[in-house]
Amino acid sequence: MANQLLTDRTALVTGASRGIGRAVAVALADAGAEVVVNYARSPEAAAEVVAAIEEGGGRAYALQADVSKEAEADGLIKAALERSGSLDVLVNNAGIIRDGLLMRMKTADWQAVMDLNLSGVFYCTRAAARPMLKQKRGRIVNITSVVGLMGNPGQANYAAAKAGVVGLTRTSAKELASRGITVNAVAPGFIATDMTKGLENDALLKAIPMGCLGQPEHVAGAVRFLTADPAAAYITGQVLQVDGGIY
């Protein structure tokens, strides 16, 4: 365990049972935080993340909640506060894709992505801001995407939601800054996770100046900097791209 910058702090990561969320949870535990591993439907995977953190000398526990539902998001924040006593870091990572061309996209697929990828970020941020305002400190990081900045055919719903996260991030940052709370976003490019399986091809790799997909740990490193590093204390309302130069 190196650089224990989050000792005596609690960090909640939504959608932390796999992929980028898992890597972020491990990185924040490595920085000393007690990590709340949120999951929606995979208790076994969440338990494995908790076990991995504990094996590395860290502290973690899992909490189930579908943050696309307002009541469950509120309940998640409440449960974390009751168990840990404070909430110092929130990473809004949970997200899904329901790809399809605009003209063929089902309304249900549009709404499902908006509900989790955008509304879920709003619900959790609003709920977490209350205790952070009282303690006059907090760091919030929202995982957006370069797709929300540049668009991508077949992902109108995902791009719209992730663009919305950028606007929400910048507005939240302005509203909360005076109470010592920073709000930033990290915009991954194409990262090697379950979500991008099958996408890797010569055309995509040629579009990425660094010539390869990113790893979840690359995104986790950016989140760790924004949440755990004192050097990030004056950074708020920003979007940090971790994309190999694709945008």
Would you write out the chain's pLDDT as a tens digit for each of its 247 residues?
A: 445 689 999 999 999 999 999 999 999 999 999 999 999 999 999 999 999 999 999 999 999 999 999 999 999 999 999 999 999 999 999 999 999 999 999 999 999 999 999 999 999 999 999 999 999 999 999 999 999 999 999 999 999 999 999 999 999 999 999 999 999 999 999 999 887 877 777 888 999 999 999 999 999 999 999 999 999 999 999 999 999 999 9
Query: In the prediction, which pLDDT does 163 show?
Result: 98
Query: In the prediction, which pLDDT does 204 show?
Result: 87
3-state secondary structure of 201: coil
Q: Using the CB atoms, write b or e for 195-222: b if 16+ within 10 Å.
A: bbeeeeeeeeeeebeeeebbebebbbbb
The one-character DSSP state at 85 is S
Question: CA 110 to CA 114: how far, in whole Å?
Answer: 6
122-127 long-range contacts, CB within 8 A, separation 24+:
122/168, 123/67, 123/70, 123/73, 123/74, 124/12, 124/14, 124/67, 124/73, 124/76, 124/77, 124/90, 124/92, 125/90, 125/92, 125/168, 125/172, 125/183, 127/73, 127/74, 127/76, 127/77, 127/78
Residue type, 119: S
Nearest one of 175, 129, 121, 127 to 148, comparing CA atoms: 121
Cα-flanking dihedrals φ and ψ of residue 96, to 5°?
A: -135, 165
Query: In the prediction, which pLDDT does 212 show?
Result: 92
Catalytic residue annotation:
158
Strands 59-64 and 239-242: unpaired
Asked whether the beta carbons of 87 and 132 are under 8 A apart, the reply is yes
Query: In the prediction, which pLDDT does 81 show?
Result: 98
Asked whether the beta carbons of 124 and 40 are under 8 A apart, the reply is no
Asked whether the beta carbons of 32 and 9 are under 8 A apart, the reply is yes
